[in-house]
Every structure is written in structure tokens, then in C-alpha cells.
Structure 1
């Protein structure tokens, strides 16, 4: 089954919402080098609250983009890792992140010119 992103009733839009969310994008980029613990993710991403990161991780796990593994240790250790589906986002997300980093100055200049400052 293929979706139609232009159809307002198509579930493709739900998928676009997930992979277009800035926190999900940053989680994917953070996990490309392998599994990480919650605090490692929080520290890498910066600016995300624990509540929002928890919600993002749960949603990504529900959507099959990452796995959550709990290790029976004291204290318990939890690691997050991309699934093959999550890893398949590497090329498109990395391309968008690269574009954003390469064009940030031009975008910020355009914003400044538009607002008149």
C-alpha cells in the first residue's frame, strides 16, 4: 500500500508528522552511531525537556523506529537503539540536516530582512 500525502485522510501524514518533528530528527541523528542511554540523548540534543524527550522516544518506539532495552541492573539501565526502519531514515534526515547547516546564514538573513531588523 502506498499513501497519498496530499489526501488529508491518509495516514502518510501521521508518518510525516513523526519524521518531520525536530525532536525525532535529532533523536535519529543522535542514535546513528549506536545505542544511547536517556541522559546521553538528552545531553546530546540540548534544549529538550525530559518530558518531551520521553514522549518522543515512546512515540518513536510505538512507530517502530527505535527499540528500548531495559537491563536488569541496579540502578536499571535503559538503552535506545534505531531499528532497521529507523536506520533507513539516515540518508533523508542527514541530507536535510546538512542542508540546514549549509544554509542557516542565508535563512537567518532572509528572516532578518523580512522582519526589517
Structure 2
């Protein structure tokens, strides 16, 4: 291998099953239609294992302002309220140094 080929080698890092499921759920929640309606139906795929599904659903359940309705077909209806501008305001005097955490889902 030449030096140019070695430099172009990419280290591929595989995503965990929880990360893949979290990414799929996140894309459903962040879709324009879901954002407009303030709701999203998350369907469980046959490839979603119990442990990963329960972990992601548990993280969502811990999120303030989100309600979850488990459906007969195994899906979950997520509903949330639009945050008002007042909810988003943080005064500079109240800000403390906080370590960034990854998104819960």
C-alpha cells in the first residue's frame, strides 16, 4: 500500500443497537410532520430486541413534557407540548458549568 492509500483508510466504528434505534426514533420525532403535530408514532421493528427497545423507551419516559401511549400493535404514540419562549429563556446569572451529556434517545 502506498502512503496515500494508508492515509485514506477510514476507521469504521459500528453503532450499537441502542444507538441505531435511538437514531431511528430521533429522526421520526424530528420529522417536519411530527414537529407540526407535536406527536409521533414509533413502530417497533422485528429487528428491535427487547433490551434495546426498553432502554430507549425508558429514556423517552424520563423526558419531561412527553406522554407515551402504548398501542396494541406494539407501537408507541409520543405526544408533547410546544415549548413557549418563556420556557426556553435562561438568565445568565443562573447558568452553571454543566458537562454535556448525549441525547437520551
Q: What TM-score do the two structures reach when normalised by structure 1?
A: 0.33
Larger Rg: 2
Question: Normalized per residue, which structure has more helix?
Answer: 1
Pick 1 or 2: higher relative contact order, CA cutoff 8 A, min separation 6: 2
